[in-house]
Amino acid sequence: MTVSGKSAGGRWRWLMYLVLCLAASFFLMPVYMMVVTALKDPAEISLDTAWQLPSVWNWASFADAWSAFAPKLRNSLVLTITASAASALLGSLNGYVFAKWPFRGAKVVFALILFGMFIPYQAILIPLFGFIRAIGLYGTIWGLVVVHTVYGLPITTLIFRNYYMDIPNSLIEASALEGAGFFAIYRYVVFPLSLPGFVVVIIWQFTQIWNEFLFAVSLSNPASQPITVALAQLAGGEAVRWNLPMAGALLAALPTLLVYIVFGRYFVRGLLAGSVKG
Partner 1 sequence: MRWRKHTNQITGFLVVLPSIVLIGVFVYGFIGRAIWVSLTDWGKDPSQALALKPVTRFIGLENYRELFTGLIDARFRQDMVSTVFFTLFFLAGCLLLGLLLAIVIDHKPRGEGFFRGVFLFPFALSFVVTGTIWRWLLQPGGGVNVLPTLVGLPPARFAWLTSRTQVWRFDWNHLPVIVGLIAAAVLAGLAVAARRAGRRRRAVVTALAGAAALGLAIGVAPGWRPLPYPEPHGFNLAFVGIILAAVWQMAGYTMALYLAGLTGIPEELREAAVVEGANEWQLYTRIILPMMAPITLSATIVLGHISLKIFDLVFAMAGPDNSWTDVPALLMFITTFRGNQFAKGAAIGVILLLLVALIIVPYLRSQLREGARE
Footprint of partner 1 on 142-171 (CB under 8 A): 147, 150-151, 153-154, 157
How far, in Å, are 159, 170, 229, 270 from residue 95 at the CA level? Answer: 8, 18, 33, 15
List binders of partner 1 among 243-272 (CB under 8 A). Answer: 245-246, 248-249, 252-253, 256-257, 259-261, 264, 267-268, 271-272
CB of 160 to partner 1, least distance (A): 12
Instruction: Decide if residue 177 touches partner 1 (CB under 8 A).
Output: yes
**Total binding residues toward partner 1, as defined by CB under 8 A:** 107
For residue 249, the tally of other CB atoms under 10 A from its CB is 20
Question: At its nearest, how many Å lie between partner 1 and the CB of residue 42?
Answer: 13
Query: Which CB, 223 or 257, lies closer to partner 1?
Result: 257
Q: Are 197 and 159 in contact (CB under 8 A)?
A: yes
Binding to partner 1 (CB under 8 A) within 103-142 occurs at 103-104, 107, 109-116, 118-128, 131
What residues from 202 to 221 belong to the interface with partner 1 (CB under 8 A)? Answer: 207, 210-214, 217-218
Using CB under 8 A as the binding rule, the residues of this chain from 10 to 39 that contact partner 1 are 12-13, 16-17, 19-20, 23-24, 26-31, 33-34, 37
Burial zone of 175 (CB within 10 Å; 0-12 exposed, 13-18 middle, 19+ buried):
middle
The Cα 229–Cα 45 span in angstroms is 24
**Residue 77 to residue 95: CA distance in whole angstroms:** 26
Nearest to 163 by CA among 105, 102, 98, 103: 98
List 182, 221, 222, 223, residue binding partner 1 (CB under 8 A): 182
DSSP string, 11-41: HHHHHHHHHHHHHHHHHHHHHHHHHHHHTS-
56 near partner 1, judged by CB under 8 A: no
* Residue type (1 letter), 249: A
CB 192, min distance to partner 1, A: 18
Residues 59-98 that bind partner 1 (CB under 8 A): 90, 93-94, 96-98
Q: 10, 14, 43, 46: which one contacts partner 1 (CB under 8 A)?
A: 46
**Residue 165's closest CA among 100, 236, 111, 239?**
100
> Residue 252 CB, nearest distance to partner 1 (Å)?
5
